Amino acid sequence: MSFCGSLTYLADNSPWGVEMDLLFSRSSIFDVLEHQTSALKQEAEHLDSATLEEVPEQEVVRDLASKYKLEVPALQEDKAYISHREIDIDVSHDPMRLIFNRSEPFYIRGVEITFSVPFRGDPDLFHIRPSSFNLNPPRGEINGNEIHIITQRTDNNAAAAKTQYEETLGNIKQYLGWLRVSVEEFNSKIGQQVESLVRQRKQNLSATAGMVEALGLPVKMKDTDRAKLAIPPGRALRKSISSPKKWDVFVSHASEDKNELARPLSEALRKKGLSVWYDEYSSARWERNILNRTRSSP
């Protein structure tokens, strides 16, 4: 496996354009789901007895299921906006222009327009290839929780620029829809898998405890054994383990409101049993491992 590099995005059907990433092309959704399943199994196999004794089984199951579920980005088209700037555009490779020496750049003044669309969800899923796909994946740039579609024009043709944006956005939405089919199926089934893994872990711990007891000697527990709680006690997620959704509530806030408003609100909602997205303790971990493994593959 290897990364696909940046490609040139051709604006208004000309041979010059904006260099943007080819989306949905770095790794397969099957690799991501396989990684999630493997990481979940590994964490379940390392749950310690203190966690399983102090936290009700259903809370352990729901917390683990929520942790390993994925969230396909949802575009917030109603919050889209544009920015623009004047730039010099090289049109030396445009066959429609009369240029005598095409071996050197030939610049004319133009405008670069950036269409920015906010989204909620796992940003790195924009780089994952779904099980269904076409031969013309969209191109764009992921900047935080926004996707940028950039075009350069020399003709001030607003209609053409908007058509290009809408076509690209439609292609992105189609790919996200294909991803959503696989992710929602995975999310809906992961709860049952967690239940099976937790019960198997309990059986293994019980068998080990029985063997230790049969030895007939006093047992001294290490302090580190009590410090390995994988899941905080007292968290009770209300979300059904069969839900295809990852979060019940999103907490979005201005930086100045974090301490006095956002953090207390998030904690209060969690204590009520809701699964809460909040930037201090909500982040996608799988993509780092998947993409790092992709980079190191031949």
From the list 169, 156, 137, 176, the residue with the least C-alpha distance to 29 is: 176
Position of tokens 């290009």?
A: 164
Residue 194: φ, ψ to 5°: -65, -45
Q: Per-residue pLDDT tens for 164-209?
A: 999 999 999 999 999 999 999 999 999 899 999 999 999 999 998 8
Which of 13-17, 177-181, 223-227, 273-277 is predicted least confidently?
13-17
CA distances from 268 to 46, 59, 93, 249 (A): 29, 17, 59, 12
Show the tokens assigned to 74: 């949802």
Residue 233 has pLDDT above 50, yes or no: no
Counting DSSP H helices and E strands in the chain, the numbers are 7, 11
Query: Residues of the chain with pLDDT > 90: what percent?
Result: 46
Report the C-alpha gap between 59 and 233 in whole angstroms. 9
Rounded Cα distance between 167 and 161, Å, is 10
Nearest one of 40, 43, 44 to 187, comparing CA atoms: 40
Domain boundaries, the chain: 7-213+224-247+282-296
> pLDDT averaged over the chain?
80
Give 10's Cβ-side CA count (13 Å radius).
7
| Distance from C-alpha of 265 to C-alpha of 271, rounded to nearest angstrom | 10
Per-residue pLDDT band at 128 (split at 50, 70, 90): very high
Confidence of residue 157 (pLDDT cuts 50, 70, 90): very high
pLDDT band at 297 (very low <50, low <70, confident <90, very high): very low
Query: Residue 66: enclosing H or E segment and its boundaries?
Result: helix 57-68
pLDDT tens digits along 236-289: 443 444 566 666 676 776 777 777 777 788 777 766 656 666 665 554 455 556
Residues 6+ apart with CB under 8 A from 112: 18, 84, 85, 86, 87, 150, 151, 152
Q: How far apart are CA 158 and CA 141, in angstroms?
A: 21
